[in-house]
Amino acid sequence: MAEALLRVERVAKHFGGVVAVDAVSLEVAAGEIHALIGPNGAGKTTLVHLLSGALAPDAGRVLFAGADVTARALHERVGLGLARSYQVTSLFRGFTALDNMALAVQARSGSSLRFWTPVASERALFDEARAVLGEIGLAGRERVHAGQLAHGEQRALEVGLALATRPKLLLLDEPMAGMGPDESERLIALVDGLRARVGVLLIEHDMDAVFRLADRISVLVNGRVIATGGPEEIRANAEVKRAYLGEEQPA
């Protein structure tokens, strides 16, 4: 395997006396889809916060594309190509779907300290925004306010916003939460289409999706990675079965 795109070295985080993430080490290679699974409260979302820069770890390092980004802010990591989506949908609800997307495009296309030229006249922004909207299946919904989209569409836009920043690595925090089967299927196809282009760290409860998509899987239990390996390996891992899969067999 090539040099890892994302390399997590023994990062830890505790809140008060509660250890949320306990010396987790992890690697995601470029173009790889790496799933992170584990029971509720295992520390998955906290780990995403640590990797994306929303929270600072108490210990350990995060390396991205060869550079130590542990001290870098959220927005700086996005600039380097490390983007995330949220488990709880976080959009610009008062903006249209197209404007949502255009904002994400704007973030990486030159300075936004421009005070005079109307955004509306910047065609390049909107062309690209439309393209991403098409990619996530929201073509034709451009003029709808994000707050008024259907739940599944909002989830797609949630992923789309991260995608529009043109990341090298996507951190997807339960992208399929609350989706119907058709919508899930579309999203699975979308993520599948990213393979080889974009690295993905996928957190998901839908085990069907995980085992279909993941190149490798890490299992997080009580803040610790107890196993990492290919899907078959994980399926066969006794410790994983005991700690996690035993209660929740994949469909």
Partner 1 sequence: MRRWLPFAVLAAAAAFPLVARPLGWDFYIGFASRIMIYALAASSLNLVLGYGGMVSFGHAAFVGAGAYTVAVLMAEGVASAWVAWPLAVALAGALAAAIGAVCLRTRGVYFIMITLAFAQMIYYIAVGMRAYGGEEGLNLPTRSQLGFGLDLKDDVTFYYLVLAILAAALYALRRTVGARFGRVIEAIRENETRMDAIGFPTYRYKLVCFALGGALAGLAGALLANQNSYVNPNLLYWTQSGTLMIMVILGGVGYLYGGVLGAVALLVLEEVVSGYTIHWQLGVGAVMLAIVLFAPRGLAGLAQGRRDG
Residues forming contacts to partner 1 in the complex (CB under 8 A) are 52, 54, 73-76, 78-79, 83-84, 86, 90-95, 99, 103-104, 106-108, 111-120, 122, 161-162, 164-165
Shortest reach from residue 153's CB to partner 1, in Å: 17
Helices 123-135 and 151-163: crossing angle, nearest 10°?
120
Shortest reach from residue 95's CB to partner 1, in Å: 7
Q: Compute the distance between CA of residue 205 and CA of residue 92 in angstroms, rounded to an integer.
A: 26
The per-residue DSSP string of 42-98 comes to SSHHHHHHHHHTSS--SEEEEEETTEE-TT--HHHHHHHTEEE--SS----TTSBHH
Q: Which is nearer to partner 1, 52 or 184 (CB)?
A: 52
Q: Which is nearer to partner 1, 111 or 249 (CB)?
A: 111
Cβ atoms of residues 85 and 171 within 8 Å: yes
Q: Which is nearer to partner 1, 67 or 189 (CB)?
A: 67
Q: Nearest-CA neighbor of 21 among 33, 8, 30? A: 8
Shortest reach from residue 73's CB to partner 1, in Å: 7
Shortest reach from residue 140's CB to partner 1, in Å: 23
Amino acid at 67: A
N-term to C-term CA, the chain: 30
Shortest reach from residue 240's CB to partner 1, in Å: 31
How far is the CA of 193 from the CAs of 111, 113, 167, in angstroms?
Answer: 30, 35, 14
Q: Which is nearer to partner 1, 132 or 245 (CB)?
A: 132
Q: Which is nearer to partner 1, 45 or 237 (CB)?
A: 45
